[in-house]
Amino acid sequence: MVELVKAKLSDIPAMQALVVSEVKEGVILNRSEDEVATNIRSYVLAKENEKLVGYTALHVHSKRLAEIRSLIVDEKYRGQKIGQKMVEFTLNEARDMGVEEDVLVLTYLPAFFEKLGFNEINKEVIPEHKIWADCIKCIHFPVCNEVALVYKLA
């Protein structure tokens, strides 16, 4: 049975190993071990027994906006609603933290998020600090074909 748990520093090597192919393909941004460690409290992991099978992070930009980042599920575990459970976990976490308005996601799989209540938005409305802080690190920058979606908390 897969359970969701908060990440620990000792999970970082397994987290880095899980995303190697997606980072190479440019599907997920490369994050250094130091960057993951700095943000370790934002990660939720999906584990079966002690094996890491997926994870995501909730990054808070402001009182009004948070973002779901780095959603990954091991290929062998896809189709079991693990991604959905992690997204629902992060949405509840955003509510519990007091995020007032929206949870953003940039994705190549918009249909997955639309099924969970997210709606597509124009990327030009994303705060500029988001673009410069993360997007500039992407191998696809500045020609981005990710889709921006938001989930309205309020």
pLDDT tens per residue, range 1-58? 999 999 999 999 999 999 999 988 878 888 999 999 999 999 999 999 999 999 999 9
Residue 34 sits at the vertex; the CA angle it makes with 145 and 75, to the nearest 5 degrees, is: 50
Q: H or E segment at 69?
A: strand 65-73
Q: How far apart are CA 154 and CA 143, in angstroms?
A: 32
pTM for the whole structure = 0.89
Q: Contact at 8 Å (CB) between 106 and 56? A: no
Cα 59 from Cα 125, distance rounded (Å)? 18
* Residue 30 three-state SS: coil
Question: In angstroms, rounded to a whole number, what is the distance separating the alpha carbons of residues 140 and 25?
Answer: 10
